[in-house]
Amino acid sequence: MSFFDQGALIGVMTTQPLDRLLDYKAPPGGCQTGDFVEVPLGPRKVLGVVWGKGQGGYDPAKLRSVIRVLDAAPMREEMQAFLTRAAEYTLTPMPAMLRLATRSPGLGDPPSMRRVYRLGRGAPDRQTDARRRVVETLKDYGGLAFTLGELAEAAGVSTSVIKGLVKQGVVSEEDSPRDLPYPALDPGYGGAVLTPDQAAVAEPLIAAVRAGDYGTTLLKGVTGSGKTEVYLEAVAECLTRGRQALVLLPEIALTAEFLTRVEKRFGARPAEWHSGVTMTERRRAWRMVSEGGASLVVGARSALFLPFRDLGLIVVDEEHDTSYKQEDGVFYNARDMAVLRASICSAHVILASATPSLESWANAEAGKYSRLTLDARFGAAQMPDMRAIDMRGETLPSSRWISPRLQREVEARLERGEQALLFINRRGYAPITLCRACGHQIGCDHCDARMVEHRFLKRLVCHQCGETKPMPSQCPSCEAEDRLAPVGPGVERLAEETAGLFPDARIAVLSSDLYGSARALKKHIVRIAEGQADIIIGTQLVAKGHNFPLLTLVGVIDADLGLQGSDLRAAERTFQLMRQVAGRAGRSDRPGTALMQTYQPDHPVIRAILSGDEEGFWRAEAAERQAAGVPPFGRMAGIVLSSPNVQEVFDLGAEMARNDGPLRQIGAQVFGPAPAPIARIRGRHRVRLLVKADKGAPVQAAVARWVAQFKWPASLRLSIDIDPQSFY
Ligand code: ADP
Ligand code: ZN
């Protein structure tokens, strides 16, 4: 870190889209590396960070001075290093990276004040229940200050009760800075007694955190085995060491449940960071993380870019989840960035999952990550009994998806007062058209995609290129007449069928698009868990970590749904999703059953799911990808060009494909241009190129040299996705 006296030449990284450092003069009083500053840029004032010495070469007379140094803890050197390395890895311009790290409203503004309430010294003239609750609430939280609204809510009283107590001096009223530190977490507050299996896994994790070096551990364990319980022990150790911890969750809807758990374990709630957090809380969280007033943060992937003062542990829960990959703006995978950040600040990473990604599995196999496994569910809970329903042998009327066998099983649950879940990973009304004679699915002639039946339009539509055609009467593959049938209804259509089959059952539909807010969804989930529904119809939303104690049957309507398709991760995703869904059944003391309706009971993925032979599945999947030279055994980069002019964008794509010298130098190949999965967005036509290289090849550098060869028209936009998750 260097200090610059007034007038010294400094280089400032701004959040403006200019891919270089800008030279300025240090302001009166000087500044130091990492300072957040406001600088003039043309007629505007913009946010920046003092990155180091200036480059010089400008007319010193024209050099402008930093306007002011903001009132915020300077960016640490390790954060600069992290952003730089992340930018290099993802081929993202630094300003875009810096924007991720400065997402705090009013960063650098002087702290504002707010009115807070604490326990005073006076005694009330007259005791009432409401008054007693206020006093008890304040005592419970030992000296903590509340806002009027918070206190009224926590005590369950009206604000006038509190105002009355203020008049009598029972409650004190004062102004205090808005950005209060978070209540301290107590590592010894409420830990569970771990089972011997859990303890055997917790010990090495605790030791790793204690050692204080970088390392990554894959914590694999069936749903309900106590992974959370165990990694909270590692968090406890981290807090004991006085270092900060970060827990990443894939879904905001899960945070509420998790926060309650943290409170039970550590006696107070942690800081939260995700899109559902208010501006004021965001500001507070950002500031307190940087000043050490927040020891634990629970958040979404963007929490990785918070200015931690001393980060000692990052937990990536459900590490296989696709929502960790950001695919707009800056393309990054939070799991990989967690490992990068941890390696820079000497923190430990725990990747937790019942069904790890093949990437992490391969890294563990290769010895880059340690691996710890929890095989048994906690307590009486057993992994559900998993069986296939061979749909080729079930007689189902058309436009019905619940087999007679599944129907009987659901009825049995209803009679016993237990819950059943019917799972279909399709929102809305989006089926496949399948030939019941040969199993062929109608695809688009122009894309590698299935055609989707639209009843209103009475046509088949390709969701990728928009191509439509009338429904044929013959199978294009085996030419059988009238054997084409829609398969795989959306949740809403399935709910209709369910209501017809079980007219007296209370049915709840759980699909992320049906709720206005995470809060509404969460409320709904809590009501369902309490038993206010007999049958749950859900999409993949239900597969993620929710607990339904009364649930004893999971019926997977179409286990084949994820098996086809051109995505190289289709088998992996299906395997993970099915295992997770099945994990919903029998989480407490009643045994669960999972039934999978399939037309392909002999498919290797279905067999692996049913037999529970996970290692076998991973080995087979790894061998296949290794043979194909695709991730994680090869490298890929996806390039998307977009422009309002369809001809222009295809021409440029073809030009890029022709001039692939820098890629050939590293032995990489380029495929395309092809229409992107979504061929047009908001009037912009999109084409995609795919770069494929060997594992060790310096892909980023080659891609950077490759794209630098071209002069783009202003109308063109280019995005680069290193290690893309979805590509076809
Ligand atoms: P996972 O994260 O692997 O799904 P959890 O940590 O959520 O598993 O544990 C599943 C359930 O079992 C939770 O309700 C948890 O509180 C409980 N549980 C797990 N281990 C213990 C333990 N050692 N003592 C008490 N309860 C436990
Ligand atoms: Zn198409």
Distance CA(528)–CA(506), nearest Å, equals: 10
Looking up residue 597, the CATH number of its domain turns out to be 3.40.50.300
What is the pLDDT averaged over residues 530-559? 81
Ligand nearest the Cα of residue 676 is 2
Question: 316: which residues sit within 8 A by CB, 6+ positions away?
Answer: 248, 324, 334, 335, 338, 349, 350, 351, 352
Residue 465: pLDDT band by 50, 70, 90 thresholds? low
Residue with structure tokens 């590396």?
33
Q: Distance from CA of residue 342 to its chain's centroid?
A: 18
Q: Of 621, 650, 683, which one is at a domain's C-terminal end?
A: 621
Same domain, 416 and 553: yes
Nearest to 403 by CA among 608, 599, 173, 685: 599
pLDDT of residue 308: 97
In a domain, 26, yes or no: yes
In a domain, 98, yes or no: no
Torsion-angle region of 707 (φ positive above 0: left; ψ -120 to 50: alpha; else: beta): alpha
What is the pLDDT averaged over residues 620-633? 82
For residue 634, the cross-strand partners are: 694
Same domain, 396 and 515: yes
Same domain, 357 and 222: yes
Q: In what order do the strands lie in the sheet with 684-694?
A: 669-681, 684-694, 634-643, 717-722
Can you tell me which atom of ligand 1 is nearest the CA of 230? 6
Same domain, 144 and 247: no
Nearest to 201 by CA among 372, 368, 367, 364: 372
- Is the shortest distance between the CB of 198 and ligand 1 below 6 Å? yes
Whether 449 and 464 have beta carbons less than 8 Å apart is answered as: yes
Can you tell me which atom of ligand 1 is nearest the CA of 198? 23
Looking up residue 687, the CATH number of its domain turns out to be 3.30.70.600
Helices and strands: H and E segment counts in the chain = 20, 33
Residue 461: pLDDT band by 50, 70, 90 thresholds? confident
If DSSP codes are grouped into helix, strand and coil, which group holds residue 41? Answer: strand
Cα(198) to ligand 1 centroid in Å equals 10
In a domain, 104, yes or no: no
What is the pLDDT averaged over residues 258-265? 92
Same domain, 214 and 289: yes
Read off the DSSP letter of residue 512: G
Same domain, 145 and 244: no
What is the pLDDT averaged over residues 400-406? 92
Distance CA(118)–CA(166), nearest Å, equals: 10
More confident residue, 407 or 571: 407
Nearest to 724 by CA among 627, 640, 621: 640
Residue with structure tokens 């819950």?
419
If DSSP codes are grouped into helix, strand and coil, which group holds residue 435? Answer: strand
pLDDT of residue 139: 81
If DSSP codes are grouped into helix, strand and coil, which group holds residue 513? Answer: helix
pLDDT at 111 over 70: no
What is the pLDDT averaged over residues 410-416? 94
Q: How many residues does the chain have?
A: 728
Neighbours of 664 (CB within 10 A): 12
Residue with structure tokens 């929490």?
303
Least confident of 207-221, 602-616, 695-709: 602-616
Same domain, 279 and 251: yes
If DSSP codes are grouped into helix, strand and coil, which group holds residue 343? Answer: helix
pLDDT of residue 446: 64
In a domain, 506, yes or no: yes
Q: Of 59, 78, 97, which one is at a domain's C-terminal end?
A: 78
Question: 97: which residues sit within 8 A by CB, 6+ positions away?
Answer: 83, 84, 86, 87, 330
Residue whose CB lies within 8 A of the most ligand 1 atoms, among 195, 229, 249, for a mutation test: 229
- 241-242-243-249 Cα dihedral, nearest 10 degrees: 90
Nearest to 597 by CA among 356, 337, 400: 400
Mean pLDDT of the chain: 85
Q: Where are the beta strands (DSSP E) in 530-668?
A: 535-538, 551-556, 593-598, 634-643
More confident residue, 369 or 547: 369
The model's pLDDT over 490-505, given as tens digits with 9 standing for 90+, comes to: 777 888 899 999 999 9
Same domain, 289 and 349: yes
- Is the shortest distance between the CB of 425 and ligand 1 below 6 Å? no
Number of structural domains found in the chain: 6
For residue 452, the cross-strand partners are: 432, 461
In a domain, 292, yes or no: yes
Nearest to 401 by CA among 576, 510, 503, 537: 537
Biggest CA–CA distance in the chain, Å, is: 90
In a domain, 564, yes or no: yes
Helix 252-266 vs helix 227-240: crossing angle, to nearest 10: 60
The model's pLDDT over 662-697, given as tens digits with 9 standing for 90+, comes to: 999 999 999 888 877 666 666 778 888 889 999 889
pLDDT of residue 456: 47
Cα(195) to ligand 1 centroid in Å equals 10
Torsion-angle region of 488 (φ positive above 0: left; ψ -120 to 50: alpha; else: beta): left
Nearest to 727 by CA among 682, 683, 680, 692: 692
* Pairing outcome for strands 330-333 and 325-328: antiparallel
Same domain, 521 and 579: yes
Kindly state the helix (H) or strand (E) to which residue 226 belongs, with its residue range: none
pLDDT of residue 728: 38
- The pTM assigned to this predicted structure is 0.75
- Is the shortest distance between the CB of 727 and ligand 1 below 6 Å? no
Neighbours of 390 (CB within 10 A): 16
Cα(285) to ligand 1 centroid in Å equals 28
More confident residue, 37 or 146: 37
Distance CA(52)–CA(13), nearest Å, equals: 9
- Is the shortest distance between the CB of 226 and ligand 1 below 6 Å? yes
Cα(226) to ligand 1 centroid in Å equals 4
In a domain, 364, yes or no: yes
Same domain, 234 and 303: yes
Distance CA(62)–CA(118), nearest Å, equals: 54
Q: Of 579, 598, 621, which one is at a domain's C-terminal end?
A: 621
Residue 619: pLDDT band by 50, 70, 90 thresholds? confident
If DSSP codes are grouped into helix, strand and coil, which group holds residue 310? Answer: coil
pLDDT at 32 over 90: yes
The model's pLDDT over 369-392, given as tens digits with 9 standing for 90+, comes to: 999 999 876 665 566 788 899 999
Residue 187: pLDDT band by 50, 70, 90 thresholds? very high
Distance CA(503)–CA(410), nearest Å, equals: 13
Residue whose CB lies within 8 A of the most ligand 1 atoms, among 315, 378, 587, for a mutation test: 378
What backbone phi and psi angles, to 5 degrees, belong to 565?
Answer: 100, 160
Percent of the chain at pLDDT exceeding 90: 43
Amino acid letter at 154? A
pLDDT of residue 205: 97
Distance CA(581)–CA(283), nearest Å, equals: 37
Residue 453's domain comprises 428-488
Same domain, 59 and 139: no
If DSSP codes are grouped into helix, strand and coil, which group holds residue 709? Answer: coil
Kindly state the helix (H) or strand (E) to which residue 223 belongs, with its residue range: none
Least confident of 56-70, 117-131, 262-276, 443-457: 443-457
More confident residue, 279 or 236: 236
Nearest to 320 by CA among 621, 107, 23: 621
Q: Distance from CA of residue 520 to its chain's centroid?
A: 19
Same domain, 239 and 321: yes
Span between the terminal Cα atoms of the chain, in Å: 46
pLDDT at 545 over 70: no
Residue nearest to atom 4 of ligand 1 (CA): 224
